[in-house]
Amino acid sequence: MSAADQLGHIFNRCRRAAKTAGRKADAVTLVAVSKTFEAQAIRPVIEAGQRVFGENRVQEAQGKWPALREAFPDLELHLIGPLQSNKAGEAVALFDVIETVDREKIAAALAREIDKQGRTPRLLVQVNTGSEPQKAGVEPTETAAFVRRCQEVHGLAIEGLMCIPPFDENPGPHFALLRKLAGELGLATLSMGMSADFETAIELGATHVRVGSAIFGSR
Ligand SMILES: *Cc1c(COP(=O)(O)O)cnc(C)c1O
């Protein structure tokens, strides 16, 4: 099946999962994760109607998205991979949503660039729900304090939280934890769930699911 056909299939599964969970069918935004795929593989998926995409590297995204954006001005691009502070300017210029705010230095760099460029991407804080040493994200116990510092010290509007559960664990408890943390902070956006577990994430309140290989094929 082509990526465009897979897209339709995944889109329907998202709507069905939302309805099954007693949520509105359109309560969940499907973020198509196009990392490692070239513009020519992405274009048919855009032409099939998909408008929201995720990339995990600033430099890779810069190589393929400016031309696609010119052809399709209503695209929405999410940064879902780690951000270095020296790339904050490029990230603010290119992305509509940055999902991986996870330390003070990045918050400060983003605030500076938003001020300088007059362009304000929507921002999510990444939470390391499994407290994995090699993984990005703030610790669950430090999330509230970090979000408050982003808001009060750096003047950033934080819209929600994002997580990537440990690869080898049942994701459900991680999604539930993310929802609980967001609820306590009054944040409305929850980016959680990937190809293998997006329906579970939707059941547990995801507003955004990030699906790559189930649409584009294996990387
Ligand atoms: C690659 C990636 C995804 C998509 O993963 P699939 O398993 O291919 O759906 C989602 N979120 C992040 C942060 C990623 O890096």
The pLDDT confidence band at residue 116, using thresholds 50, 70 and 90, is very high
Distance (Å) from CA 196 to ligand 1 centroid: 10
3-state SS string for the chain: CCHHHHHHHHHHHHHHHHHHCCCCCCCCEEEEECCCCCHHHHHHHHHCCCCEEEECCHHHHHHHHHHHHHHCCCCEEEECCCCCHHHHHHHHHHCCEEEEECCHHHHHHHHHHHHHHCCCCEEEEEECCCCCCCCCCECHHHHHHHHHHHHHCCCCCEEEEEECCCCCCCCHHHHHHHHHHHHHHCCCEEECCCCCCHHHHHHCCCCEEEECHHHHCCC
Which residue is closest in CA terms to ligand 1's atom 6?
A: 212
Q: Please write the tens of the pLDDT for every residue from 153-190.
A: 999 999 999 999 999 999 999 999 999 999 999 999 99
Distance (Å) from CA 116 to ligand 1 centroid: 31
Q: Which atom of ligand 1 is nearest to the CA of 162?
A: 13
Quick check: 43 pLDDT over 90? yes
Q: Please write the tens of the pLDDT for every residue from 118-148.
A: 999 999 999 999 999 999 999 999 999 999 9
Predicted local confidence at residue 134, as pLDDT: 95
Ligand 1 neighbours (beta carbon < 6 A): 33, 35, 56, 80-81, 164, 194-195, 210-214
Q: Please write the tens of the pLDDT for every residue from 183-208.
A: 999 999 999 999 999 999 999 999 99
Q: Please write the tens of the pLDDT for every residue from 65-94.
A: 999 999 999 999 999 999 999 999 999 999
Distance (Å) from CA 33 to ligand 1 centroid: 6
Quick check: 35 pLDDT over 90? yes
Quick check: 1 pLDDT over 90? no
Q: Which atom of ligand 1 is nearest to the CA of 35?
A: 1
Instruction: Choose one of 9, 14, 210, 215 to mutate for the ligand 1 pocket test, by most ligand atoms within 8 angstroms of C-beta.
Output: 210
